[in-house]
């Protein structure tokens, strides 16, 4: 029997406070739901309990005794097992080996006990065998499994620890209905055995079907904890949003006079991670993509940009079909794309600022010769317009701060203006001043007649800047919010309801 209490846990990364006051009271024989929006601190709280993050302050009590959990090993010794949201499987090893990776059965001191390995894993795998689907077996390597099957392996890995306390950080995000049902059956059995479980999920129906208690975290602090039987979905969402902000529509930015003439029309677009997506972006409009992280928003933008394949549907720019098969093709058709993952998709690391600004200009002008002097003059305008801080246009781009690097990446799109600007979480990891500069620019670009699609993982940013918001849930647009409806409450409601 294990009772776990976390009081006043706090964790800051530099100036960013991930968790300011995390409280959790986990009792034996219960499934305890932890809920909160993107970046509210749920995962940080779990990681503190699992020993992979060291809290700056606060205490953890196990059966009434204060404990220090200074590593995953210590957590395991204390009887705490965890399912990680970021899958942590060894791709080239078999299902069986992965399941027992934390505690390989050993014989003779150094050799893996194959018989023991097979026997123990066979029992765990048998519980899921009929819902796991084709190609799932103990001796298959993990890299040959589908996403849902990998998630099952991760669940089995957590179950195999036999720990009295189990933490599941979004264990069901890739599972289908039958797999979730089977998982819940097992959770109910474990409950009977008196084990304590923390369960994180964004699906309201799941939360109310399996949970016994729910603890709500908002902006890094625990704000409410109640028995599932005594609350309902609306109340939980209200607690996540906060009473004050729940119902007020964000002050609407100056409405563009004519959000008419469609610049970008997408109809019934299908691809990996999204389906049946249709929308239009009007001239001068900022269309927001909202919802939980990774619900297909980014994939849709990348598909339009030609960086990701789509298998059905139409994309039209200015009424002209434009199914780009590569970014180069999309760019020639007047589409621009700014990724939030600068390091991967944006900066030419180690190269001068100038070379980071010029590639789009080269492509759109079909240039062959490069005159550094003339190019520097061209690049200077957009860099200045974005208030980019740098000493010399020849200095390496990675000598700048994150915000200024992103400004350099955006500047490359402004020498030859595109018709459509796709922003894929563009403010990730940049400072507040740079964010405000960016949104000022984006609004003025819209005013000049550009059509803009903006995905942001920060709800406040989206509500403050988008004229309309499409809410994505499991790859589908489930709701469109405009005018007075653009409230945080409505956004959460659409994002968290079962798709």
Partner 1 sequence: MSTDALPSKSGGNAALAFAKKPLVVALILIVLLLAVGEWLSPGFASPGQVLRLLIVAALLGIVAAGQNLVILGGREGIDLSVGGIVSLAAILAGNVMNGADSGILPAILVCIVVGGLFGLINGVGVTLLRIPPLVMTLGMLGVLQGLLVVIRNGIPSGRAAPGLSDFVVKPFLLGLPGIIWLWLLIGLAMAFLLRRTVFGYRVYAIGSNEQAAFMAGVPVKTIRVALFMLSGVFAAIAGMCLLGYSGSSFANVGEQYMLPSIIAVVLGGTPLSGGKGGYTGTMAGAVLLVLLQSILTTVHIDEAGRQMVFGATLVALMLFYGRAKAMRG
State the residues that interact with partner 1 by CB under 8 A. Answer: 305, 307, 326-328, 331-332, 337, 339, 344-351, 355, 358-360, 362-363, 367-372, 412
At its nearest, how many Å lie between partner 1 and the CB of residue 336?
10
Nearer to partner 1, 326 or 377 (CB): 326
For the chain, the first-to-last Cα distance in angstroms comes to 37
Nearer to partner 1, 252 or 332 (CB): 332
Full DSSP string of 147-182: HHHHHHHHHHHHHHT--SEEEEESTTTT--HHHHHH
* CA–CA separation, 460 and 272 (whole Å): 28
Q: How far is the CB of 451 from partner 1 (least distance, A)?
A: 19
Q: What torsion, rounded to 10 degrees, do the Cα atoms 304, 308, 312, 318 define?
A: 20
The answer to whether 400 and 352 have CB atoms below 8 angstroms apart is: no
Instruction: Supply the minimum distance, in Å, between the C-beta of residue 403 and partner 1.
Output: 18
- By three-state DSSP, how is residue 82 classified? strand
Closest distance between partner 1 and the C-beta of residue 332, in Å? 8
Kindly state the smallest distance separating residue 371's Cβ from partner 1, in Å: 7
Are 450 and 294 within 8 A, CB to CB? no
The kind and range of the H/E element at 362 are helix 359-365
- H-run or E-run covering 288: strand 286-291
Q: How many whole angstroms separate alpha carbon 170 and alpha carbon 34?
A: 10
CA dist., res. 277 & res. 472, Å (int): 9
Tokens of residue 304, six digits: 């339009």
- What kind and span of H or E run contains 480? strand 476-482
Single out the residue of 436, 437, 444, 468 nearest to residue 454, CA to CA. 468
Residue (172 or 347) nearer to partner 1, CB: 347
Residue entry with tokens 């009081």: 7
Q: Looking at beta carbons only, is 186 or 363 nearer to partner 1?
A: 363
Provide the CB-side half-sphere exposure for 76 (13 A, CA). Answer: 14
Q: Which two tokens stand for residue 214?
A: 């729910």
CB of 441 to partner 1, least distance (A): 19
Least distance to partner 1, CB of residue 33, Å = 38
| Closer of 16 and 326 to partner 1 (Cβ) | 326
Smallest gap, in angstroms, from Cβ of residue 341 to partner 1?
Answer: 9
- Which of residues 370 and 447 has its CB atom nearest to partner 1 in the complex? 370
Nearer to partner 1, 194 or 372 (CB): 372
H/E stretch holding 385: helix 372-385
Cα(308)–Cα(50) distance, integer angstroms: 36
Q: Give the nearest distance from C-beta 366 to partner 1 in angstroms.
A: 9
Q: What are phi and psi of 273, to 5 degrees?
A: 95, 0
- Strand arrangement of the beta sheet that strand 4-13 belongs to: 65-67, 57-62, 4-13, 16-26, 221-227, 213-218, 31-35, 196-200, 165-169, 80-83
For the bound state, the minimum distance from the C-beta of residue 170 to partner 1, rounded and expressed in Å, comes to 27
Decide whether 154 or 424 has the Cβ nearer to partner 1. Answer: 424
Q: Using alpha carbons only, how large is the chain's radius of gyration in Å?
A: 25
Of 177 and 366, the one with the shorter C-beta distance to partner 1 is 366
Q: How far is the CB of 351 from partner 1 (least distance, A)?
A: 5
Partners of 209 in the β-ladder: none
CA distance 397 to 390: 9
Residue 66 or 350: the one with the smaller Cβ distance to partner 1 is 350
Nearer Cβ to partner 1, position 311 or 367?
Answer: 367
Contacts of 148 (CB under 8 A, 6+ apart): 133, 174, 175, 176, 179
Cβ closest to partner 1, residue 164 vs residue 327: 327
Smallest distance from partner 1 to CB 305, Å: 8
């Amino acid at each position: 029997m294990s009772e776990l209490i976390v009081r006043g846990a706090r964790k800051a990364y530099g100036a960013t406070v991930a968790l300011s006051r995390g409280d959790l009271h986990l009792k034996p024989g219960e499934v305890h739901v932890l809920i909160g929006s993107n970046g509210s601190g749920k995962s940080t709280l779990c990681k503190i309990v699992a020993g992979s993050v060291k809290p700056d302050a606060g205490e953890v009590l196990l059966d009434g005794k204060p404990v220090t959990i200074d590593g995953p090993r210590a957590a395991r010794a204390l009887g705490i097992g965890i399912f990680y949201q970021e899958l942590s499987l060894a791709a080239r090893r078999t299902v069986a080996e992965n399941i027992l990776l934390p505690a390989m059965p050993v014989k003779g001191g150094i050799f893996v006990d194959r018989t023991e390995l097979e026997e123990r894993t066979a029992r765990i795998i048998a519980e899921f065998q009929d819902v796991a689907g084709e190609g799932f077996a103990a001796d298959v390597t993990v890299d040959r499994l589908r996403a849902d099957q990998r998630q099952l392996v991760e669940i089995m890995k957590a179950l195999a620890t036999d720990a009295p306390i189990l933490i599941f950080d979004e264990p069901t995000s890739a599972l289908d209905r039958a797999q979730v049902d089977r998982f819940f059956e097992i959770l109910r059995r474990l409950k009977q055995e008196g084990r304590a479980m923390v369960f994180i999920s964004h699906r309201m129906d799941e939360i109310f079907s399996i949970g016994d208690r729910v603890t709500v975290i908002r902006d890094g602090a625990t704000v409410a904890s109640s028995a599932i039987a005594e609350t309902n979905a609306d109340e939980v969402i209200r607690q996540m949003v906060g009473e004050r902000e729940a119902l007020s529509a964000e002050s609407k930015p100056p409405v563009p006079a004519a959000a008419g003439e469609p610049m970008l029309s997408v109809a019934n677009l299908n691809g990996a991670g999204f389906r049946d997506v249709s929308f239009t972006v009007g001239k001068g409009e900022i269309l927001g993509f909202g919802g939980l992280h990774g619900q297909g928003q980014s994939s849709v933008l990348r598909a339009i940009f030609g960086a990701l394949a789509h298998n059905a549907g139409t994309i039209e720019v200015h009424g002209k079909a434009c199914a780009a098969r590569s970014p180069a093709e999309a760019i020639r058709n007047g589409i621009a794309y700014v990724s939030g993952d600068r390091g991967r998709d944006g900066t030419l690391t180690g190269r001068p600022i100038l070379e980071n600004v010029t590639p789009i200009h080269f492509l759109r002008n079909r240039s062959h010769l490069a005159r550094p002097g003339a190019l520097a003059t061209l690049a200077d305008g957009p860099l200045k317009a974005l208030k980019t801080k740098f000493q010399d246009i020849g200095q390496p781009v990675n000598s700048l701060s994150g915000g200024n690097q992103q400004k350099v990446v955006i500047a490359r799109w402004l020498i030859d203006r595109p018709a459509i600007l796709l922003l894929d979480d563009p403010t990730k990891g940049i400072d507040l001043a740079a964010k405000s500069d960016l949104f000022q620019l984006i609004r003025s670009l819209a005013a000049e007649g550009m059509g803009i699609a903006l995905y942001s993982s920060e709800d406040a940013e989206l509500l403050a800047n988008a004229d309309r918001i499409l809410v994505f849930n499991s790859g589908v647009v489930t709701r469109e919010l405009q005018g007075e409806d653009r409230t945080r409450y409505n956004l959460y409601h659409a994002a968290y309801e079962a798709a």
